[in-house]
Amino acid sequence: MQIISKYYPGLSREQIIRLEKLDSIYPGLNKIFKIFPRREMYSFCEEHILHSMSISKLVNFKPGSKILDVGTGGGFPGIPLAILFPSCSFTLVDSMQKRIQAVKSIIQTLDLKNATATRVKIEDDFEQYDFVISRAVAAFPALVNMVMKNISCNSKNSRPNGLIYLKSGSFDDEIIDFKKDIEVFEISRFFNERSFQSKKVIYMPVQNFLFRDPEGFC
């Protein structure tokens, strides 16, 4: 947990306990559900927990914000952010039952009252949220088309509502048609560990979805 404390020195005791539990329960849970490659367990806190928390460097979610984690997999980035923002509501969705089973188990173990996990295809979810977050679950153009219906136009945070997407490596081909509509932030601006050198946070505000749906969803 030293790496978390390095960048988040103001965490409450309850948040620290939950993050420590999250770090400790995943290796055993992964043996059962096989969510992550075994090699990723050796740097789990950095690769998954801290990586997920990088979204908080872009938006400090205000209390009452509703966030949808699409294709949550093993609960990332949703669970670490739910710990970090206990006054916000997080809905974690995935289409695979075993992943949602694992995430529900983690939520219960951590007693996270502000997080829920549901098995659903995002195409079938028509609820609206302040932000949609995701970690490389699909190619960016496909993700934009899937989630534009889920983003509310009534913004209350420091940044307008929108899509926040975690991505590693180069993906210029994916964003060739979106360069005027997104902001790309290098995670190495926030965390100086070597593993973050090729990782990025991509933000697309809700108003830039409008040209994709001229009839408007606002």
DSSP secondary structure string for all residues of 124-188: G----BSEEEEES-S-HHHHHHHHGGGB-S---SSS-SEEEEEEES--TTTTTTTTTT-EEEEGG
**pLDDT grade, residue 39 (50/70/90)?**
low
% of the chain at pLDDT higher than 90? 74
DSSP 15-37: HHHHHHHHHHHHHHHHHHH--S-
137-156 tens-digit pLDDT: 888 999 999 999 999 999 99
pLDDT over 90 (residue 127)? yes
pLDDT (tens digit, 9 = 90+) per residue, 66-114? 999 999 999 999 999 999 999 999 999 999 998 999 999 999 999 999 9
Please give the Cα distance from 11 to 99 (Å, whole number): 28
- SS3 at position 89: strand
Confidence of residue 136 (pLDDT cuts 50, 70, 90): confident
Q: What span, in angstroms and rounded, lies between the C-alpha atoms of 32 and 174?
A: 34
Residues 6+ apart with CB under 8 A from 125: 68, 93, 150
* Whether the predicted model's global pTM rises above the 0.75 cut: yes
Report all structural domains of the chain as residue ranges with CATH numbers, in order of start. Answer: 2-212 (3.40.50.150)
pLDDT value for 218: 58
Q: Does the pLDDT value for residue 214 go beyond 80?
A: no
Check residue 121 and give its pLDDT: 92
Q: What are the tens digits of pLDDT across the range 173-198?
A: 888 889 899 999 999 999 999 999 99
Look at residue 205 and give its three-state secondary structure.
strand
- Condensed to tens digits (0 to 9), the pLDDT of residues 6-28 reads 999 999 999 999 999 998 888 78
pLDDT in tens, 158-174: 999 999 999 988 788 88
Nearest of 201, 215, 208, 192 to residue 52 by alpha carbon: 201
Paired tokens of 105: 């188990």
What local confidence, expressed as pLDDT, does residue 207 receive? 87
Q: What is the mean pLDDT of the chain?
A: 91
The pLDDT value recorded for residue 122 is 92
Report how far residue 156's alpha carbon sits from residue 184's, in angstroms, rounded to the nearest whole number: 22
